[in-house]
Chains A and B, each alone.
Chain A
Amino acid sequence: MNMFVFILRRLFQTIPVMIGVTLAVFLMMHLIPGDAAKIMAGENANPDQIEQMRENLGLNDPLHIQYLRFVTNAVQGDLGNSIRTSRPVTEEIFSSRFAITVQLALIGTAAAVLLGLVAGIISATRKYSAADVGIMLVALLGLSLPNFWLGIMLIYLFSVNLGWLPVAGWGTWEHMILPAITLGTGGAAIIARMTRSSMLEVLNQDFIRTAYAKGVSDKVVIYKHALRNALIPVVTVVGLQFGGLLGGAVITETVFAINGLGRLIIDSIRAHDFPMVQGTILVCAVLFVLVNFLVDITYRLINKRIDLN
């Protein structure tokens, strides 16, 4: 199967996922307690105004019609207007917040990958050494520490006590360091453990022995022969991590007072801003699906053997 057919097929496979995502987001609006029209019309609205709002929102139409309208509008980039600001939801999302969250997630992923890979390789090549045991202990710690707690501790240490880095906000590279570490730690721990076990498995394989028998040095065996093969399962984890980081961003952005999508969701939920919540979640979900799609293609590019299946 060639790459083109694969990409097409993979794209087709995202269709049911997308339908599921939009359906879930759409139904959410109808399942959560409270009357959306009532809330949107404002606290002091009279029944007529509420009925008018319901009519405006199309809430009196059958559910499937509503859903179709929602999807049709969404595809055209119309996710409704925010209740709080009355500006279009898409505008609110894509003006700056989207970029900030994607930036944060990317930096977090980069931190996770860098730390995770280096730690994993050191661990695998020095199996059972003090370094290995230490790294795996730290990794276990990193997995079990809650994000918000780690973030607060980092702020306390580096910003409040040492005064090296800003407490909150977004803008310069100094602002990015603590959130990236907060966000990346969990991923780094998972990637480190994954890299270690994957490397150990690969280092035990016959072709590693072949490489040594050719007179290849340890370094080349590890970085050229082993790592390339060990990375195959790690790539999938990195992709999943990136998706997870979007979720983690909600907490991290709140802790560091960053005006990204995560904070937008929280603020919108507090303000009962339904269209905003709905739109933001939809954008995040689509981003997640897109990232997974890209990961699958990358996976295939590295692992040529998939062709066989």
Chain B
Amino acid sequence: MAKTVKILEVKGLRTSFFTDEGEVKAVDGVDFSLERGKTIGIVGESGSGKSITSLSILRLIEESTGRIVGGEIMFKGENLLQKSKKQMMAIRGNNISMIFQEPMTSLNPTLTCGEQIAESIRIHQKANRKEAWVKAVDMLRHVGIPSPEKRAKQYPFELSGGMRQRVMIAIALACNPELLIADEPTTALDVTIQAQILELIKKLQEEMGTSLMIITHDLGVVAEMCDKVAVMYCGKVVEYADVKTIFTNPKHPYTVGLLNSVPKHDQDYEGDLAVIPGAVPSPFNLPQGCRFAPRCPHARGICREELPELLDSADGDQVRCWIYSEKWEKQEEEVR
């Protein structure tokens, strides 16, 4: 068997925002890795830091408010955080591309779809206007847009939401990137259109051998698309595992709670949904110890005092929970 190559390795990534009320550690020591040609899902609720993680990889954090304050982002063995601004520009859209949640607002309203795809080709492939245009029309055809010559000359507002997301995908894949980051790519779309787009991403990934990182809050999308999953809570990865493990044998109490609280369309219910009590803590007032402890049904003394490390288990999975450490048995069980 050929040795698997890690295309992306994020180690101890920390990104903070500096506000009048203090520092918000949006991403606070995140580790995960992605093998070439595979798909990783970053899952979490709002405030988990999943989107900031993805923006940090391309170094797209707005400088006036936030900054990457620590860690490494190894892309094909090189640390992106040590690249110059110019080097990063050559990587963006070329080696690593990104698609965003809102196809409505993510396209420039004053440029035609064709121009927006061609721009990326002209920057990275030294093509002239005409060559780039031909390639842009080709890309539109490739992402399943009917009569691409006509569509290329249209403005984003003339297209439906699903079509616009196809244009976004065409822009992202125009230069055949090795890594595609998709930040909530289907959240703004209707389910039948979501199914089309997910199918398209899968097909193109297979054809082009792209590695894929999907940021989503939708566990269904994760199950559908991903090989590996990193579950995030309050700026930290709490569980990193194979997709099968996450859905059949989740370890972290948060992952378990999350899975149980999603109402499923293909399963019958009796009575109430299982809930995670309480709410996500304020980023200015994070609990000492495990950040999930105040909402965790299993929390014991140590959980409230000390932040658990990401523990490796035998199968290569990782979980950030005291339950899986040797210290756990020494903890007194609490009556809840």
Kindly identify, within residues 111 to 128 of chain B, every residue whose CB is under 8 Å from any CB belonging to chain A. Answer: 111, 119-120, 123-124
* Least Cβ–Cβ distance between A99 and chain B, in angstroms: 35
How many angstroms between the C-alpha atoms of A206 and B92 in the bound complex? Answer: 16
Is B247 an interface residue, CB under 8 A from the partner? no
Q: Is the Cβ of B98 less than 8 Å from the Cβ of A207? A: no
Kindly identify, within residues 96 to 147 of chain A, every residue whose CB is under 8 Å from any CB belonging to chain B. Answer: 127
Q: Is the Cβ of A214 less than 8 Å from the Cβ of B110? A: no
Q: Which residues of B contact A212 (CB under 8 A)?
A: 60, 92
In the complex, per-residue mask of A191-222: 1 if CB is within 8 Å of any chain B CB, else 0: 00000000000000111011111111100000
Stretch from B23-31, B101-109, B254-262 forming part of the interface with A: B101-109
With A214-B119, A215-B89 known as contacts, the answer to whether A207 contacts B106 (CB < 8 A) is yes
Stretch from A26-34, A153-161, A236-244, A300-308 forming part of the interface with B: A300-308
Q: Is the Cβ of A304 less than 8 Å from the Cβ of B110? A: yes
Is B168 an interface residue, CB under 8 A from the partner? yes
With A214-B92, A214-B93 known as contacts, the answer to whether A206 contacts B100 (CB < 8 A) is yes
Is B311 an interface residue, CB under 8 A from the partner? no
Q: Is the Cβ of A213 less than 8 Å from the Cβ of B93? A: yes
Q: Which residues of A contact B92 (CB under 8 A)?
A: 212-215
Q: Is the Cβ of B58 less than 8 Å from the Cβ of A210? A: no
In the complex, per-residue mask of A286-309: 1 if CB is within 8 Å of any chain B CB, else 0: 000000000000000011110110
Is B328 an interface residue, CB under 8 A from the partner? no
How many angstroms between the C-alpha atoms of A207 and B156 in the bound complex? Answer: 11
Q: Which residues of A contact B97 (CB under 8 A)?
A: 213-214
Residue of B nearest to A204 (CB): B62
Is A87 an interface residue, CB under 8 A from the partner? no
Q: Which residues of A contact B108 (CB under 8 A)?
A: 207, 210-211, 225, 228-229
Main secondary structure of the interface of A (DSSP, over half): helix
Q: Which residues of B contact A209 (CB under 8 A)?
A: 60, 100, 106
* Least Cβ–Cβ distance between B77 and chain A, in angstroms: 21
How many angstroms between the C-alpha atoms of A305 and B154 in the bound complex? Answer: 11
Is B171 an interface residue, CB under 8 A from the partner? yes
* Least Cβ–Cβ distance between B157 and chain A, in angstroms: 5
Of B105, B119, B120, which is within 8 A of A206 by CB? Answer: B105
The count of A-to-B residue pairs whose CB atoms sit within 8 angstroms is 71
Q: Is the Cβ of A215 less than 8 Å from the Cβ of B157? A: no
Number of interface residues of B (CB under 8 A): 28
Q: Is the Cβ of A210 less than 8 Å from the Cβ of B157? A: no
* Least Cβ–Cβ distance between B300 and chain A, in angstroms: 43
How many angstroms between the C-alpha atoms of A233 and B58 in the bound complex? Answer: 32
Is B267 an interface residue, CB under 8 A from the partner? no
Of B64, B94, B155, which is within 8 A of A304 by CB? Answer: B155
Q: Which residues of A contact B60 (CB under 8 A)?
A: 209, 212-213
How many angstroms between the C-alpha atoms of A205 and B62 in the bound complex? Answer: 12
Is B159 an interface residue, CB under 8 A from the partner? no
Q: Is the Cβ of B123 less than 8 Å from the Cβ of A210? A: no
Q: Is the Cβ of A210 less than 8 Å from the Cβ of B155? A: no
Is B74 an interface residue, CB under 8 A from the partner? no
How many angstroms between the C-alpha atoms of A217 and B123 in the bound complex? Answer: 9
How many angstroms between the C-alpha atoms of A229 and B155 in the bound complex? Answer: 13
Kindly identify, within residues 250 to 305 of chain A, every residue whose CB is under 8 Å from any CB belonging to chain B. Answer: 302-305
How many angstroms between the C-alpha atoms of A127 and B62 in the bound complex? Answer: 13
Q: Is the Cβ of A217 less than 8 Å from the Cβ of B89? A: yes
Q: Is the Cβ of B107 less than 8 Å from the Cβ of A207? A: yes
With A205-B105, A210-B171 known as contacts, the answer to whether A215 contacts B93 (CB < 8 A) is yes
Is B90 an interface residue, CB under 8 A from the partner? yes
Of A216, A228, A229, A303, which is within 8 A of B119 by CB? Answer: A216
With A206-B106, A225-B108, A229-B108 known as contacts, the answer to whether A213 contacts B98 (CB < 8 A) is yes
* Least Cβ–Cβ distance between A239 and chain B, in angstroms: 19
Kindly identify, within residues 61 to 105 of chain B, every residue whose CB is under 8 Å from any CB belonging to chain A. Answer: 64, 89-94, 97-98, 100, 102, 105
Residue of A nearest to B88 (CB): A215
Residue of A nearest to B105 (CB): A206
Residue of A nearest to B115 (CB): A224
Of B102, B105, B120, which is within 8 A of A214 by CB? Answer: B120
Q: Closest 3 interchain pairs by CB?
A: A214-B93, A215-B93, A215-B92
Other contacts beyond A215-B93, A307-B157: 20, CB < 8 A: A206-B102, A206-B106, A207-B105, A207-B108, A209-B60, A210-B98, A210-B100, A210-B106, A213-B58, A213-B60, A213-B98, A214-B119, A214-B120, A214-B123, A215-B91, A215-B92, A228-B108, A302-B110, A304-B157, A305-B109
